[in-house]
Amino acid sequence: MSKVPKEPPAGEITPEALYLRRRELLKNAALFAGTASAIGGGLVWLTGGAARRAGGEAAPGGEAAPLASAPAELAAPPAGAGGRGAFVTDEARTPYEDVISYNNFYELGLSKSEPAANAGRLRLRPWTVACEGEIKKPAVIDLDTLLAWFPLEERVYRMRCVEAWSMVIPWLGFPLAALLKRLEPTSRARYVQFTTLLDPKQLPGQRSDVLDWPYVEGLRIDEAMHPLTMLAVGLYGKTLLGQNGAPIRLVVPWKYGFKGCKSIVNIKLTEQQPKTSWSQAAPDEYGFYANVNPAVDHPRWSQATERRIGELRRRPTLPFNGYAEEVAGLYSGMDLRESF
Ligand code: MTE
């Protein structure tokens, strides 16, 4: 039987060494000017688990911060769009308030509540996504052009964080494959790399060295082309908020949540496997593939079960987060313990 704990310790996703370094950061105090008083309260630099313990087991994500700006309604997707099979789960959706107040976005703060509190710093327009690398049609594409190109679909996906909590989120977006096809990958394109905005003024967490900024993620090209993989611009029918990765972020429902690169400014097709942020920071803990796998524990906690935000009892974690039928074939012949 596994001796690793069910819940990650206070450091959660952060590798132990980096977590300890946060104490030094604490001494340097007001990295986030707006939350200096909260630092005095001692909760800011603890990630979710510890923050919840310190404050009592409040409703997860219950420290809802005021919205930086009212989320606009996106144009409704056409009736029936995306409403098929694995694209929509009938499991209970995580309440909107929890989805927008319990976040991981280290560039906006290390606790679960800081990203919402700091999201107002992020300027969402104008916004461009530079598409480059192994494609026949490189271009810097304005976000509104992207939105005009692709009809929005609603996809209700499970999201499983590597920290062993999960949510069910109705995303609004379009398949990544639609964009990639338009860019016309060359025969050398084997991977797709995604990069978050680098701007410490807007993303003050980038003034710390918790990760090597900017945040970079990547997929193999067949994973990127899979119909489940999407670029999201909204959720619950509303425009995405900064804390959730506005104005555009990646969603790959069979992988741990950290693959879902937020606030993307660059998409690059490459021949070589990209160096991704978490696998660089802690290669023993986070791999490139990061497929949800209850059989492979994190070195510091079990991945066999998860806590669905809003529920008390833990539930078993499903291989590929319940999307095995759709995606297991992508990995046939691979050792998923080796390629974790
Ligand atoms: N993207 C960037 N740029 N920075 C981050 O810190 N955190 C990741 C992922 N994308 C992260 C990121 C992690 S660990 C998770 S679980 C999801 O975003 C959380 O998405 P959510 O806050 O919208 O639920």
Q: Give the start-to-end residue ranges of the domains of the chain.
A: 10-47+65-331
The atom of ligand 1 lying closest to the CA of 105 is: 6
| 215 CA closest ligand 1 atom index | 3
pLDDT of 53 higher than 70: no
Beta strand 165-175 with 305-308 is parallel
DSSP state of 5: -
Q: Is 101's C-beta closer than 6 angstroms to any atom of ligand 1?
A: no
The mean-pLDDT minimum among 7-11, 71-75, 89-93, 164-168 falls in 7-11
Q: Does ligand 1 lie within 6 Å of residue 277's CB atom?
A: no
* 225-262: pLDDT as tens digits: 999 999 999 999 999 999 999 999 999 999 999 999 99
For 309-330, how does the pLDDT look when each residue is reduced to its tens digit (9 = 90+)? 999 999 999 999 999 999 999 9
Predicted local confidence at residue 5, as pLDDT: 73
Ordered DSSP codes for 21-84: HHHHHHHT--SSGGGHHHHHHT-TTS-HHHHHHHT-SPSTT-SPPPPSSPPPBPPPPPTTTT-S
Ligand 1 close to Cβ of residue 260 (< 6 A): yes
100 lines ligand 1 (CB under 6 A): no
* The residue type at 105: F
Six-digit token string for 140 = 């810097």
For 1, half-sphere exposure in the C-beta direction (CA atoms, 13 angstrom radius) is: 3
Ligand 1 atom showing the smallest separation from residue 161 Cα: 16
This prediction has a pTM of 0.84
Residues facing residue 155 across a β-bridge: 171
The model's confidence at residue 116, banded by pLDDT at 50, 70 and 90, is: very high
Q: Which two tokens stand for residue 2?
A: 């596994």
Give 14's pLDDT tier (boundaries 50, 70, 90). confident
Query: Measuring from atom 13 of ligand 1, which residue has the nearest CA?
Result: 258
CA of 1 from ligand 1 middle (Å) equals: 31
Segment 42-66 shows an average pLDDT of 28
Distance 316 CA to ligand 1 centre (A): 22
How many beta carbons lie within 10 A of that of residue 209, not counting itself? 10
| Class (C level, CATH) for 10-47+65-331 | alpha beta
Helix (H) / strand (E) element for 178: namely: helix 176-183
